[in-house]
Amino acid sequence: MHTRTLGQGLEVSAIGLGCMGMSQSYGPNPGSRDDMIGVLRGAVDRGVTFFDTAEVYGPYVNEELVGEALAPVRDQVVIATKFGWDIRDGRPVGLNSRPEQIRRVADASLSRLRAETIDLFYQHRVDPDVPIEEVAGAVGELVQAGKVRHFGLSEAAGSTIRRAHAVHAVTAVQSEYSLWTRDPEPEVLPVLADLGIGFVPFSPLGKGFLTGTVDVATSFAEGDVRTTIPRFSEGNRAANQALVDHVTALARAKDATAGQVALAWLLAQHPWIAPIPGTRRIERVEENAAATQLALSADELKDLDELAARIGVQGDRYNEMHMGLVGK
């Protein structure tokens, strides 16, 4: 596995592992808790050193899972987690990034992760009620106290990133980015390049769609988040099939998978990008890791760059409520 360097010299595996789906969002987990611990430890054995979780995943149980699984190899891995939600009775009911809340979350996350320090602490969503300067200052105090190593933001606007970075250096920004979600390109990526901040794309495989394993005939299980996303309506899946067919055809010509092509395209965008595809299967971890070995020519990259604009992408990437929380 190749490594990549985010901001402030934080070195991570070129492909990380998003752990959310092990606890929520994609229907019942076909594996047991012990199976997921096996996947997490197996990922380390295959060179993955970058793991992404959050207090709200579950809530709480995903951090506990990641903490237990990675405790024996804690000094070999980078664990990112997140703050920023107001969680009551086991459910997020709104945003809360007040400094006192950030401190409480940090202590609780450290306990669940069985760690002395949080490697990368993201604000999960920008809280309009708390100036980003106060958020950056609170995380900076946690860094000074040795409880946090690096500060990150998720789904933030370029101007917000600049304001935060002026108070305490931002190491990484996490947002959705893939062949069919190009939102960060006009504003966010240029800001990151200017400030020397790394970028961590989540859902780099389009929540499964870009792997070719989801099509118009797919039936989603109860509780699968994709049932709430306009882009995954039956009509939009049919309209978007042409895009994944194109990626699949290129993959076949290169003796690769569609998912590997999608990840290789992302890796080719900038050397400070480290995607975090999620999975619950070790064979997918292996497949995703192998994307680091897939070379795409300049012509192939150009064709993929133009693909979404040429073919078009139908449907928003979030429902209306969640769209209102991004790009702030």
Q: What is the pLDDT of residues 8-28, one digit of tens each?
A: 999 999 999 999 999 999 988
Residue type, 35: D
pLDDT in the model for residue 279: 97
Q: How far apart are CA 56 and CA 276, in angstroms?
A: 17
Q: How far apart are CA 100 and CA 105, in angstroms?
A: 9
Whether 153 is in a domain gets the answer yes
Q: What is the mean pLDDT of the chain?
A: 97
DSSP string, 87-134: EETTEEEEE---HHHHHHHHHHHHHHHT-SSEEEEEESS--TTS-HHH
Residue 169: alpha-carbon gap to chain centroid: 20
Whether 172 is in a domain gets the answer yes
pLDDT in the model for residue 152: 99
Whether 237 is in a domain gets the answer no
Contact at 8 Å (CB) between 290 and 260? yes
The count of domains in the chain is 1
| H or E stretch covering 259 | helix 258-269
Q: Based on the residue annotation, tell me whether 57 is a catalytic residue of this protein.
A: yes
Whether 138 is in a domain gets the answer yes
Range of the domain at 279: 3-206+269-294
Q: Regarding beta strands 11-13 and 3-5, do their DSSP bridges make them parallel or antiparallel, or are they unpaired?
A: antiparallel
- Mean pLDDT within 220-238: 95
What would the pLDDT profile of 172-216 be if each residue is shown by its tens digit?
Answer: 999 999 999 999 999 999 999 999 999 999 999 999 999 999 999
Q: How far apart are CA 92 and CA 102, in angstroms?
A: 15
Share of the chain above pLDDT 90, in %: 98
pLDDT at 30 over 90: no
Q: CA 163, 164, 167, 173 torsion: positive or negative?
A: negative
Residue 71 exposed, middle or buried by CB count within 10 Å (0-12, 13-18, 19+): exposed
What would the pLDDT profile of 275-321 be if each residue is shown by its tens digit?
Answer: 999 999 999 999 999 999 999 999 999 999 999 999 999 999 999 98
pLDDT at 230 over 90: yes
| H or E stretch covering 201 | strand 198-202
Residue 253 exposed, middle or buried by CB count within 10 Å (0-12, 13-18, 19+): exposed
Contact at 8 Å (CB) between 158 and 194? no
pLDDT in the model for residue 125: 98
Give the tokens for residue 83: 């703050």
Exactly one of 26, 57, 122, 177 is catalytic; name it. Answer: 57
pLDDT in the model for residue 287: 98
Give the tokens for residue 267: 């890796």
What would the pLDDT profile of 69-122 be if each residue is shown by its tens digit?
Answer: 999 999 999 999 999 999 999 999 999 999 999 999 999 999 999 999 999 999
Q: How far apart are CA 53 and CA 55, in angstroms?
A: 7
State whether residue 71 is helix, strand or coil. helix
pLDDT in the model for residue 202: 98
DSSP string, 211-251: GT---TT--PPTTBGGGG-GGGSHHHHHHHHHHHHHHHHHH
CATH number assigned to the domain comprising residue 30 = 3.20.20.100
Whether 326 is in a domain gets the answer no
